[in-house]
């Protein structure tokens, strides 16, 4: 059949997490709770690290950026996903799908790079505490965050352009709960070698490259912790690193499972379940893992709850504790 006889796709249909009618309402409630907790937790982190003068340090600056990224990542996916639980026709327009994919790629790549930046920050703080305020300066923080967002944006533009440069015709049913690279390319009626190669190289480079930074940073952190003479100090430090590494392990593990494997080994249903973790579960857990176990954040939350007006009328300057 000639290519011109194909019907061009103008909208897609998302199958969602499950196509079982009896599960739509229960799943809607479960994912609604997840999204509400994600929004509340990350907005809480953003607010506290913005208004509390005692949290104006590089570590909490990076944590605020991670919370912004987590909030954006979930918001790109969750609202449309929740709506589709309640409607019979789970459609998404061609351009809306492209926008969702671009937004998802921007936030997920930014999160990968931000985790690497945070690992470097912790490495300097633990391994070179006397030089920490000098090395991790305000200028360096702003530069690292700007480069993270710029790299995420450029990756999103390049990859999403490649994915939507191929032809989509006839079948328009995406076996997923949002527009993602793999299920989209599976619907293409043209050669997908180039976009598949771009997706694979981009994913492998981003994940493996940032993972190396994280592993090297934490390896040196562990070596420094082992030199601490106090057993209580070592136990406390190890506990903190274990919490951070738990989030990193879940996040990177699902990404590696999802993308860095040959297409022949892909199971779209399995990938769909893995996607739930890094689009909804991890953004919900990060506020708990990274901060709610932190004494400074707990104290800031207590001060905020006791006298919230104090924070908004108090004059303070970001990064006042370092130059």
Which among 317, 301, 227 has a CA at the least distance from the CA of 40? 301
The pTM (predicted TM-score) of the whole model is: 0.88
Q: Which of 46-55, 79-88, 95-104, 183-192 has the lowest mean pLDDT?
A: 46-55
> 150-187, pLDDT tens digit by residue?
999 999 999 999 999 998 887 889 988 999 988 899 89
Higher pLDDT: 232 or 64? It is: 64
The predicted pLDDT at position 96 comes to: 94
Residue 274 CA to residue 232 CA, distance in Å, equals 37
> 45-57, pLDDT tens digit by residue?
998 888 877 888 8
Q: Dihedral (C-alpha) 300, 302, 304, 309: value to the nearest 10 degrees? A: -130
Q: Does the pLDDT at position 321 exceed 50? A: no
The predicted pLDDT at position 6 comes to: 55
Q: Does the pLDDT at position 311 exceed 70? A: no
Residue 257 CA to residue 255 CA, distance in Å, equals 5
Q: Does the pLDDT at position 4 exceed 60? A: no
The predicted pLDDT at position 144 comes to: 96
Residues 6+ apart with CB under 8 A from 242: none
Residue 82 CA to residue 60 CA, distance in Å, equals 31
The predicted pLDDT at position 248 comes to: 80
Residue 121 CA to residue 131 CA, distance in Å, equals 12
Domains of the chain, start order: 11-313 (1.20.1070.10)
- 260 confidence band (pLDDT: 50, 70, 90): low
Q: Does the pLDDT at position 85 exceed 70? A: yes
The predicted pLDDT at position 281 comes to: 87
Higher pLDDT: 317 or 244? It is: 244
What are the φ and ψ backbone dihedral angles of 307, each rounded to 5 degrees?
A: -145, 75
In this prediction, residues 227-237 reach a mean pLDDT of: 72
Residues 6+ apart with CB under 8 A from 62: 114, 117, 118, 121, 141, 145
Q: Which of 17-31, 94-108, 249-263 has the lowest mean pLDDT?
A: 249-263
Q: Does the pLDDT at position 19 exceed 60? A: yes
Which among 33, 29, 39, 24 has a CA at the least distance from the CA of 84? 24
Residue 74 CA to residue 287 CA, distance in Å, equals 13
Q: Are 103 and 156 in contact (CB under 8 A)?
A: yes
Q: Does the pLDDT at position 323 exceed 50? A: no
The predicted pLDDT at position 163 comes to: 94
């Amino acid at each position: 059949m000639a290519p011109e006889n194909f019907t061009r796709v103008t909208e897609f249909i998302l199958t969602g997490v499950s196509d079982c009618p009896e599960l739509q309402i229960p799943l809607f409630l479960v994912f609604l709770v997840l999204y509400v907790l994600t929004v509340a937790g990350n907005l809480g982190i953003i607010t506290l690290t913005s208004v509390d003068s005692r949290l104006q340090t590089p570590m909490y600056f990076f944590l605020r950026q991670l919370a912004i990224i987590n909030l954006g990542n979930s918001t790109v996916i969750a609202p449309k996903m929740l709506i589709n639980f309640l409607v019979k026709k789970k459609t998404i327009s061609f351009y809306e799908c492209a926008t969702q994919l671009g937004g998802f790629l921007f936030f997920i790549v930014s999160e990968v790079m931000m985790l690497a930046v945070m690992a470097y920050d912790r490495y300097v703080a633990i391994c070179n505490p006397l030089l920490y305020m000098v090395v991790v300066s305000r200028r360096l923080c702003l530069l690292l965050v700007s480069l993270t967002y710029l790299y995420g944006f450029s990756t999103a533009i390049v990859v999403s352009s490649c994915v939507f440069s191929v032809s989509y015709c006839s079948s328009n049913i995406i076996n997923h709960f949002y527009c993602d690279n793999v299920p989209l390319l599976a619907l293409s009626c043209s050669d997908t070698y180039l976009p598949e190669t771009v997706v694979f190289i981009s994913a492998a480079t981003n994940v493996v490259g940032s993972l190396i930074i994280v592993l090297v940073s934490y390896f040196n952190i562990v070596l420094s912790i082992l030199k601490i003479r106090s057993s209580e100090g070592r136990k406390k430090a190890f506990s903190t690193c274990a919490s951070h590494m738990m989030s990193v392990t879940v996040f990177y593990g699902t990404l590696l499972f999802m993308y860095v494997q040959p297409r022949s080994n892909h199971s779209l249903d399995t990938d769909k379940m893995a996607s739930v973790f890094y689009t909804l579960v991890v953004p919900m857990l990060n506020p708990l893992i990274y901060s709610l176990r932190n004494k400074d954040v707990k104290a800031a939350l207590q001060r905020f709850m006791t006298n919230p007006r104090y924070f908004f009328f108090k004059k303070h300057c970001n990064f006042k504790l370092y130059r």
